Amino acid sequence: MTTSTRRLLLAGGATLLAAPALRAQSAWPSGPIRIIAPFPPGGSTDALARLLQQPLSQSLGVPVIVENRAGASGSLGTAAVARSAPDGNTWVLVFDTHAVNPALIPNMGFDTERDLTPLLQFGTAPMVLTAHSTRPYKDWAAMAAAARVRPDTLTYGTIGNGSLAHLTMALVGRTTGLQLVHVPYRGGGPLAAAALAGEVDLPIATRPAIGVHVDSGVLVALAQTGSTRSPTMPNVPTLAECGVAGIDARAFWGFLGPANLPAAVKQRMEAELRKALEIETVRTRVTNLGIDLEPQGEEAFRAFLSRQIRTWGQVVRENNIRPD
């Protein structure tokens, strides 16, 4: 057997060995893709999933189904993905509760960092601390002065016990010494209604939840909770600008799959998601949701989640916070 013949046989054998793997990669996606929105219809995760549904279906050539599987602050739907096969057919679109749940819910049935692949972080949004326009304070300094004169009387409202807004204000209290009273509501709708009615002194939520009341003048924006000013709220100072240093509390939205996904599947899905986010109508609607669009890939998203889990886990433990 000549050397050239031997090389041809070896090359042919390698091609035959690689063929099943190549076919498996090229076969994806071969059927419907399911995106789980782990909250009820109408929320931001549901809206974002449905916004991506059509462009993903067109580019991937298969049906994309959005399934609402709500419960336990998003952990029930996320658990279904953590337990699913790593075939690229099941994904979840999470919100900031994803990083808080490990500390609040000790028996979720999965490990947030071990059992999931953080494929792409879409963007973030700071929360905005507001005051009803009938209150005498119109900025952070006046509110803080009032709180110090009358400790444990000013109330702040959030979308629920253990929410990111609740944890943020607990951290603000520890940092500043302000003694404010937490009033949890069961979701963004009840909080917005209470804010509009003036039932709570200091509503705090993301801009999509209460921004319309700021725009109408019913609420006055006192501070935003990101480390820098959001483009959606360019005239609202950050907590750091108000003299409260070291707090960066932003809601985030991200796309995850089960652990051990094939590299080719991850690369293709991330590319298609990024392509969808470049569509002008999609970008506009994402911005209208109050999200600062800043896509981050797997490694950056993984590092961000790790920091969030540790930061807010510490706040939960230090303040002995329990879920509703």
From CA 118, how far away is CA 116, in angstroms rounded?
6
> What pLDDT, on the 0 to 100 scale, is given for residue 322?
85
Report the candidate in 167, 172, 212, 218 with the shortest Cα–Cα distance to residue 196: 218
**Residue 15 is inside which H or E element, if any?**
helix 3-27
pLDDT at 323: 78
pLDDT digits over 204-222, tens only? 998 878 888 999 999 999 9
Q: Which residues of the chain fall short of a pLDDT of 50?
A: 8, 10-11, 14-25
Secondary structure letter of residue 313 according to DSSP: H
Using alpha carbons, list the distances in angstroms from residue 39 to 91, 205, 312: 14, 17, 21
Amino acid at 295: P
Q: In Å, what is the CA distance from 107 to each residue of 102, 112, 142, 167, 289?
A: 8, 11, 43, 20, 32
Q: What angle do CA 232, 161, 242 make, to 5 degrees?
A: 40
Q: Which residues pair with 204 in a beta bridge?
A: 129
**225-244 confidence digits (pLDDT tens):** 999 999 889 999 999 999 99
pLDDT at position 312, please?
A: 95
Contact 232, 287 (CB under 8 A): yes
Identify which of 116, 119, 100, 120 has the alpha carbon closest to the alpha carbon of residue 164. 100
The pLDDT assigned to 3 comes to 53
The two structure tokens encoding residue 115: 């059992």
What pLDDT score was predicted for residue 18? 40
Cβ distance 81 to 36 under 8 Å?
A: yes
Contact 164, 96 (CB under 8 A): yes
Compute the Cα dihedral for 106, 113, 168, 219 and give only its sign. negative
8 Å CB contact between 207 and 232: yes
d(CA 42, CA 258): 25
Token pair listed for 160: 């629920």
pLDDT at position 250, please? 94
At 2 the pLDDT is: 59
Residue 297, token pair as written in the block = 């890939």
Provide the token pair at 299. 């490694």
